[in-house]
Amino acid sequence: MSFILNCTIGNNEKCILSINSLFFTPLEDDSFELAICCVDELTGVKKNLFYNCSYVNASWCLSTQSTEQALTDDWFKEALHAQLPTMTLKRPDDIEQHGYAIKRWEILKQEDIQAHQILIEPFNRDLIHQVAKALLSIIEAQPALMDEEFASFVYERIRSKSDRYPTPHDFKRDEDISYREYLIYYLHTQIDSSEVDSHIKLMCLIWLMPSTMLSRTDDAKSQALLDTYHCQVVTKREHIHDDAKTTSSGGFGNTQMHFEQQLFKNIKEHCHYADECRYPEHPQTPYVCKLIEAGLPYVSGVSGMANSFSAIFPLLNIRINSEQGKKLQEIIKAFIVGGAMHSMIEVEHSFAISEQLFNDW
């Protein structure tokens, strides 16, 4: 059983939470609705439960429920009802950060180890090659999706942001070849490569390409995904940039660990967000407060890279919650963590937001 918890607070801002404390910014007389979507992983059946409370009357009451079918196991309901009374309403100034910095770094180390293990799996490497090949087939079969203007935009976006995002050292076009020809050439080269890091180089491109391609095949879905970025991704960030910090050559992940198999050795040094970005002493963003209180690592907020990559699911007609969809999420999550961009929970939250959007289509 997996849970996605959406808390709707007055202005319909949605946060993905665990049941512990709800940090809020509205006035004291505002009411709160906690919407809990429970999914049976075996059958895919969903049940939505809605609870209401207010700051004045903090007891949680079940208001409505919507069930597609009866869940095979309702064990969670008793546990849920037992936890709701302990869920407190807090203001951001109530947050307790004692010991968080040390715990955060230890969790990030464990995530780096897990991400590296995911990325060295041959099956996962092959799956990224297959996805890149599918994108390449579309590009070659439908030139309008990757004309010179589009190819130029993708190329320049990747090159110009190489100080912020993972970018291969060898991703550099000769002036005598067009942008479109070069992107096709580079994709072919990495797809056909037997190098252990070819899938890393491919992901440096394919996290960005699907969102732009979707804008040319289905503008409505592309715009909806972009709207979630502006309304539900960017709004869950709150950090301060200290002096510029960069990743090290051969370093992996948010803690820049060194493994025998150096997957990012051919990637340019770029911003080391976990070291450069500092969350405020008194954060005011409910999402950031929630992560800190739960002891979950904040690096740079909900992942925009995962939001952009999510366009690949409608583009290639892959259900985001299918076995293949979940596997792709796992691999991209490992890549984003390996590239020192986000913590795992920040990527998972981004994909969960995308899944909610796709369920409405």
Lowest mean pLDDT among 8-17, 157-166, 216-225: 8-17
235 — pLDDT class (breaks 50, 70, 90): confident
d(CA 120, CA 106): 22
Q: Which residues pair with 52 in a beta bridge?
A: 33, 61
pTM for the structure as a whole: 0.78
pLDDT tens, residue by residue, 343-358 = 999 999 899 889 888 8
Least confident of 96-105, 133-142, 264-273: 96-105
User: How many angstroms from the chain centroid is the CA of residue 126?
Assistant: 22
For residue 43, is pLDDT > 70?
no
198-206 and 122-141 helices, crossing angle to 10°? 50
Q: Which residue has the higher pLDDT, 332 or 40?
A: 332
* 181-218 confidence digits (pLDDT tens): 999 999 999 999 999 999 999 999 999 999 989 999 99
pLDDT of residue 42: 60
Token couple for 202: 């491919």
Closest CA to 129 of 53, 51, 193: 193
- Please tell me the distance from the alpha carbon of residue 136 to that of residue 50, in angstroms, as a whole number: 44
Range among 73-87, 105-119, 267-281 rated most confident = 105-119
